[in-house]
Amino acid sequence: MKRDGACTSLWQDGMTDYKAQQNNTAGNKIFDVVIVGGGITGITTGLLLQKAGKAVMIAEAQNIGFGTTGGTTAHLNSFMEMPFNQLIKNFGEENTRLVAKAGRQALELIKKHVEEYAIDCGHQEVSAYIYAQDEKQIKELDDIVEGFKKIGTEVSVTKTIPVKIPYEKAIEITGQAQFHPTRYIYALAKEFEKLGGVLAENCRVTSVGENEILEITTSQGTIKSRNLIYATHIPPGVNLLHFRCAPYRSYVIAAKLKNESDYPDGLAYDMDEPYHYFRTQEVDGQKYLIAGGEDHKTAHEENTEICFTRLEAYVRKFYDIDSIAFRWSSQFFDPVDGLAYIGHLPGHPQNMFVATGFGGIGMTNSHIAALTLTDIIVAGKSEYEDLFNPNRLKPVAGFSNFVKEAADVVSHLIGGTFSKEKLDTLVELAHGEAKVVKYEGHTLALYKDEEGQLHAVNSACTHIKCTVGWNTAEKSWDCPCHGSRFSYDGMVLTAPARKDLEVIHLEELVDH
């Protein structure tokens, strides 16, 4: 199973390719719904719609779980990343109660799937713990507790937490869970196909003819559908939502510990900025401590390897690590006001939908999206549609800064102007090294692979032309503006870009 980065995640380990049963675009059939993206959102939504009697096709550009589903840490929280006290300020008490209800319903749906289909994915109900380590954090934690209480969600102050980290005050939120995400979606994909759903991997959607019957051009031919859902983490093209969601990277290690009793029994979060998070997952009899953090805006860290180094050093302060079995990083999109965008895709016909802006709560938000979009398409309405409406225009404090930050270009990654004579210097990049340089009026993104071969692509992101930056750890070109990502040789890994980076043939450039 492939993923959108060079590091192998715990969730890829031992997962063979899925192998869809009906890997074709089914001729002239008109589907009720085409879902673009075979991650947890696309597959769960596809299953619910197919179960409700709709004819559904899922078109995945790579393989299922290729995106963030293969790189998540799979915490299942019924609460959002933005605490309820803050959501109350942004959306009011009544709406925040609805958010909490949606979160609980999402977790119930996951549990129901696991039971109904007897999915062997290590699903386990656990408590979540948030702990404060100084006076300022205690005050913030008290406000968080206040938010939970206001909306009637149970929370208690606890004397013990499951991690070996000093703290001053902590709370426990019961009724949370954890699981193995790719085993879960493989099982759902099978159920989807059993019900007659069409799942096409390596099927990239390149354009959509926007009529009552949508004409969807893909790498496997044209498909017709009455509705379309972009479950691509962020929609492709240029959209209002690219200015309301900022791309971030988060770093994870899965470690084997020397002491069996040290594995945390529960989900734990500190209150640092960015915060660290911990949990345990047992896979085929082996336990792993999953620890994450070191988040930063995509393409805003010059050497992403350092993020792993810092994370590992932090975890080693508290845990006796036997070995780091896996380490990987992944992307998430933070919504400006704290809630995901689920519903009608702004600026497009009413039969086009989107689910994005999941923040760090993607597993939960994917299921909220599946429930909401299924209700909208099948019943014409959902109790959550106003809450998560992508067209909401509610300005929130800090919005203009957010937009400015989201549009930042990382100029320090541009290495200078080179003349023809300096080409040798470029070629002298160390193996595994990459750089963005100016060369005779062209701005090039250069990577020398471990075998010494030089790869050159145009550094202008094919979304709206920001300059990409090198991601050392995942060996990808990442765009700081809206989070598009490309392989070292320019292939699109992550939307919103639809087109690969232009490959530059250096020899031709020099000859010219």
Binding of ligand FES at residue 180 (CB under 6 A)? no
76, 173 contact by CB (below 8 A):
no
Q: Which residue has tokens 């106003």?
A: 386
Choose the binding region for ligand FES from 73-81, 283-291, 445-453, 477-485 (rule: CB under 6 A): 477-485
Tell me if 224 contacts ligand FES by CB under 6 A.
no
Hey, which residues between 489 and 508 contact ligand FES (CB under 6 A)?
Answer: 496-497
Single out the segment in contact with ligand FES by CB under 6 A; choices: 27-35, 136-144, 426-434, 482-490.
Answer: 482-490
Interface with ligand FES: number of residues (CB under 6 A): 12
Site string for ligand FES, 349-378 (x = CB under 6 A): ------------------------------
- Does position 132 interact with ligand FES (CB under 6 A)? The reply is no
Q: How far is CA 7 from the centre of its chain?
A: 15
Nearer to ligand FES, 99 or 481 (CB): 481
Contact predicate 20/200, CB 8 Å: yes
Q: Which is nearer to ligand FES, 130 or 461 (CB)?
A: 461
CB 242, min distance to ligand FES, A: 6
The CA distance from 78 to 232, in Å, is 22
Cα atoms in the Cβ-side hemisphere of radius 13 Å centred on 346: 17
Count, residues in the chain: 512
**Does 49 participate in binding ligand FES (rule CB under 6 A)?**
no
Among the listed residues 436, 479, 492, 493, the single contact to ligand FES using CB under 6 A: 479
The 437-476 contact track toward ligand FES, x by CB under 6 A, reads: ------------------------x-xxxx----------
CB of residue 246 to ligand FES, shortest distance in Å: 11
Rule CB under 6 A: say whether 484 interacts with ligand FES. Answer: yes
The 3-state secondary structure of 445-462, one letter per residue: EEEECCCCCEEEEECECC
Comparison of 325 and 464: residue with beta carbon closer to ligand FES: 464
Cis peptide before 496 (omega within 30 of 0): yes
Give whichever of 331 and 484 is closer to ligand FES, judged by the CB atom: 484
Using CB atoms within 10 A of its CB, is residue 392 exposed (0-12), middle (13-18) or buried (19+)? middle
Q: Does residue 113 bind ligand FES (CB under 6 A)?
A: no
- Least Å distance, CB 98 to ligand FES, is 32
Inter-residue contact 37 to 57 (CB < 8 Å): no
CB 48 within 8 A of CB 370: yes
Segment contacting ligand FES by CB under 6 A, of 92-100, 321-329, 415-423, 478-486: 478-486
Q: Are 233 and 42 in contact (CB under 8 A)?
A: no
CA distances (Å), 337 to each of 91, 216, 407, in order? 9, 32, 17
* 3-class SS shares of the chain: helix, strand, coil, % to 5: 25, 30, 45
Of 344 and 482, which has the nearer Cβ to ligand FES? 482
Binding region for ligand FES (CB under 6 A): 461, 463-466, 479, 481-484, 496-497
